[in-house]
A and B are shown apart, each in its own frame.
Chain A
Amino acid sequence: MYDLELLENTDVVNELLARYGVKFGIYKNNVFKEQLFPFDAIPRIIEKREFDELEKGLKQRVLALNLFLKDIYDGKKIVKDKVIPEDFIFASGGYMAECEGVKPPRGIYSHISGIDLVQGKDGSWYVLEDNLRVPSGASYPMIARELCRRSSPKTFQHVKMEDNRNYAKLLRRTMDYVNVEGHTVILTPGRYNAAYFEHSYLAEKTGAHLVNGSELVVEDDKLYYINYNGSRERVGAVYRRISDEFLDPMNFNPESLIGIPHIYDVFRKGNVALLNAPGNGVADDKGIYYFVPKMVKYYLGEEPILHNAPTYLPFYEEDMRYVLEHFDSLVLKDVAEAGGYGVVFGSGMSRKEKEDFIELLKREPRRFIAQEVIDFQDIDIVEKGGVVPRKADLRAFVLMADEPLVWKSGLTRFSRNPDSFIVNSSQGGGFKDTWVLYQ
């Protein structure tokens, strides 16, 4: 389908990506290290019919997740109706009591959602994880596509694929929809942040101001951007690329130097939109994941189109029994961890490790989920001049404006290590472009 020149130009594209600063930061043994995010030119190709189905499922899932967040911070009907035990709300590290009763503009919580999916050998897709806080990665396939179009124009003349450069338009529409009044800005922790490339790239493509915390100020109960000449201009929407904790030293972590004092007070009064809204962590931790299909039924009255990986909650006695009986065939995940950390395979443990783990599991059942190991479809990557199969996932981006918008592309990540099922970039993998065909 694609021309050989696409693969031949991989090195050139990677050199350009390095020059643009397309990097990822990871913590290893408590040391922060930045590394390049290697691009593999063989694209993941998704047929139109297949993507149409995914799109429906993604819209449905993100709608339900938004309704869930709105419900949790204002009413908790789903808890009252006993669909979700309150333990999974109040004991979740992502639940923020400070968000109770606070109404984000237009009632949207997760404006930009990154839904991680994998495709099984039988072709069916499974959601592995929802990322509703500050999901990153859209800029990588955007710029890779841009560079590949330039280096290998022929391929892009004849393959009937959706143009993924419209992400900026979708994002702009999403930001404008919730903008209360004034400018739209992208708030970055600064150029030393590992995702700084993405922040600057998205600002450039959407036409939003790229700002750091010291350029924003709260005056009375509104937010202003301090212009280069010292004048102040009202800000109505902030696409913030810093976590809740560091957003506002007067309301959250007092040590934060990258936040804006009182920005949360402005948000609480409805005078600025924050994308994504604070408090979303309660909807995307690994414990609540189990309940997402139930949310779809509860809020939308529909059957969920997308499936979760088969998941067990040791919190429920019945599930605990299953987990103990099938321990060796399951993968266990610590709900408090992210980025591929805190994931262990039952089959990979020594007898002693297993005994210790089961003891921990019995002591803190709410802390873990167990999942069947999905037999992923492998995807080809180029290695040492040849082609080898590797595990890969897909991060699909769903934006919530006046309606949910699914970006017809996505970030495909693969694991470098042939035996690894973990594709997180924090574990040293690479990425691919994702082509969605339009016919």
Chain B
Amino acid sequence: MKTLYFDYDMQIRYAEPVGRCHFTIRCVPPRTSRQCPEEFRIEIEPAVHSEQGEDSFGNRLLFGRVDEPHRLFSLHAEGRVSAGMAEYEEAEREERTGMYRYPYRLTVPGDKLKAYFRQIETKCGRDARQRGIVLMNRLYQDFSYEKNVTGVGTSAEEAFGGGRGVCQDYAHIMIALCRMAGIPARYVTGMLVGEGSSHAWVEVLSVGKWYGLDPTNNLIVGEEHIKIGTGRDASDCPINRGLLFGGGEQVQIVSVKVRQEKET
């Protein structure tokens, strides 16, 4: 187990003033058997009142509306999390986990992914976790990390066809492969020690427990990952979802720091 300090900062600057915006933020690390948030603070600018809620995937929500014209929307969250308290997360409400066994939106496999799956399909491993690790190993070898070749709306099939992408693409492809193998798999957003921006990985359900697998780094998720959100794919759990009236062009800058020691 490790104590991790995190600092998440997102700024969106608009070329023209935004007259009104609605936002839903999913950035509160959940308390699970694996991790425990000890401290959490959040600041949103422009300062507005926001409501709290929870969605069907278990994500904590902050939502609200900004009515005054603004050219900057920013979100700053920081806190302390005990991470890696266990190797897995207990599956709650198991009757719902079927939603993670079927293709959904960005993870629907096409011909290329289906062919790839047939090629790497494995009978090795005594449970879903081990088979998931085998799939992760193969994917890590056959897909390369490269920024700016894919976008937030790129599907697993498109990303795989291009052969390159970022953590979101690794996660989507891995989810598609797991689901083809009959393994329930879900998308996770979060933060990782040493990463400068937010991260994404996969959890697979094996014998009633969710195990984290990070295909971008070919890592079993341990005590350096902080989980934030969960969903069937990335579209279920964006850290920030906004609806804007006005604004013109926008530039978004996200900066994340996760450390083991608190800076003084």
Q: Which residues of A contact B (CB under 8 A)?
A: 75-76, 79-80, 86, 89-91, 95, 97-102, 218, 220-221, 249-251, 254, 261-262, 265, 268-269
Selected contact of A99 from candidates B22, B56, B98, CB within 8 Å: B56
The stretch of B6-14, B57-65, B141-149, B192-200 in contact with A is B57-65
A218 in contact with B65 (CB, 8 Å) = yes
Q: Is B189 an interface residue (CB 8 A)?
A: no
Chain A residue numbers with a CB within 8 Å of B56 are 97-102
Contact B243 A249 (CB under 8 A): yes
Known: A91-B102, A97-B232, A250-B63. A261 touches B53 (CB 8 A): no
* A75 partner residues in chain B, CB cutoff 8 A: 95
Q: Which residues of A contact B236 (CB under 8 A)?
A: 97
Interface string of B91-129 (1 = CB under 8 A from A): 001011011011000000000000000000000000000
User: Which among B51, B96, B101, B232 is the interface contact of A265 at CB below 8 angstroms?
Assistant: B51
Q: A250-B243, A268-B53 are in contact. Are A261 and B99 (CB under 8 A)?
A: no
Contact with A along B38-59 (1 / 0, CB 8 A): 0000000000010101011100
Q: Which of B53, B56, B57, B101 has the most CB of A within 10 A?
A: B56
Q: Given that A220-B49, A250-B24 are contacting pairs, would A262 and B98 also be in contact in the complex, using a CB cutoff of 8 Å? A: no
The reply to whether the CB of B241 lies closer than 8 angstroms to some CB of chain A is yes
When chains A and B are docked, how far (Å) is the Cα of A427 from the Cα of B96?
Answer: 38
**Contact yes or no, B95 A250, CB < 8 A:** no
Residue from B24, B55, B63, B101 in contact with A98 in the complex, judged by beta carbons closer than 8 Å:
B55
Q: Which of B49, B53, B241 has the most CB of A within 10 A?
A: B53
B243 is contacted by which of A220, A221, A261 (Cβ under 8 Å)?
A261
Q: Are A220 and B51 in contact (CB under 8 A)?
A: yes
Which of B24, B49, B55, B241: most chain A Cβ within 10 A?
Answer: B55
Bound: A150/B226 CA distance, A: 71
Q: Nearest-CB distance from A104 to chain B (Å)?
A: 14
Which residue of B is nearest A219, CB measured? B65
What is the number of contacts between chain A and chain B, taking CB atoms within 8 Å?
61
Apart from the given pairs A250-B241, A265-B53, 15 other A-B contacts in the complex at a CB distance below 8 Å:
A76-B96, A86-B98, A95-B99, A97-B56, A97-B57, A97-B236, A98-B55, A100-B96, A100-B99, A101-B96, A250-B63, A262-B24, A262-B65, A268-B53, A268-B55
B179 to chain A, nearest CB (A): 11
Which residues of chain B have a CB within 8 Å of any CB of chain A?
22, 24, 49, 51, 53, 55-57, 61, 63, 65, 93, 95-96, 98-99, 101-102, 232, 236, 241, 243
In the complex, chain B residues whose CB is within 8 Å of the CB of A79? 95, 98
A269 cross-chain contacts in B, Cβ below 8 A = 53
A-B contact pairs, 23 of them (CB 8 A): A76-B95, A90-B98, A90-B101, A90-B102, A97-B232, A98-B55, A100-B56, A100-B96, A220-B49, A220-B51, A250-B24, A250-B243, A251-B24, A254-B243, A261-B65, A262-B63, A265-B24, A265-B51, A265-B53, A265-B63, A268-B53, A268-B55, A269-B53
Closest 7 CB pairs of A and B: A100-B56, A261-B22, A76-B95, A90-B98, A97-B99, A221-B51, A90-B102
Chain B: CB-nearest residue to A80: B95
| Closest partner residue, chain A, to B55 (CB atom) | A98
The answer to whether A262 touches B99, judged by C-beta atoms less than 8 angstroms apart, is: no
Chain B hits for A251, CB < 8 A = 24
Q: Which of B24, B57, B95, B236 has the most CB of A within 10 A?
A: B95
User: Which residues on A sit within 8 Å (CB–CB) of B99?
Assistant: 90, 95, 97, 100
In the complex formed, the residue of B with least CB distance to A76 is: B95
Shortest Cβ distance from A215 into chain B, in angstroms? 16
Q: For B63, what are the chain A residues with a Cβ–Cβ distance below 8 Å?
A: 250, 262, 265
A221 to B57, CA, bound (A): 20
Bound-complex Cα distance A218 to B65 (A): 9
Closest B residue to A102 by beta carbon equals B56
Question: What A residues does B22 contact at CB under 8 A?
Answer: 249-250, 261-262
**CB-CB nearest in chain B for A99:** B56
* A101 x B232 contact (CB < 8 A): no
Could you tell me the distance in whole angstroms from the C-beta of A254 to the nearest C-beta in chain B? 7
Q: Report the nearest B residue to A101, measured CB to CB.
A: B56
Bound: A268/B54 CA distance, A: 9
Within 8 Å CB of A220, what residues of B?
49, 51
Residues of A within 8 A of B51 (CB): 220-221, 265
- The distance from the CB of B59 to the nearest CB of chain A, in whole angstroms, is 11
- Bound together, the chains give a CA A101 to CA B99 distance in angstroms of 13
Interfacial chain B residues near A80, Cβ < 8 Å: 95
How far does the alpha carbon of A221 sit from the alpha carbon of B63 in the complex, in Å?
9
| Chain B: CB-nearest residue to A261 | B22
Residue of A nearest to B50 (CB): A220
A89 close to B65 (CB less than 8 A): no
Measured CA separation A221–B52 after assembly (Å)? 9
Q: What residues of A have a CB within 8 angstroms of the CB of B102 in the complex?
A: 90-91
Taking CB atoms, residues of chain B closer than 8 Å to A102 are 56
Q: A101–B241 Cα gap in the complex (Å)?
A: 22
Given contacts A249-B243, A250-B241, A250-B243, contact A265 B61 (CB under 8 A): yes
Smallest Cβ distance from B69 to chain A, in angstroms?
A: 18
Task: Give chain B residues whose Cβ lies under 8 Å from the Cβ of A89.
Answer: 98
What separation, in Å, do the CA atoms of A268 and B51 have in the docked complex?
Answer: 12
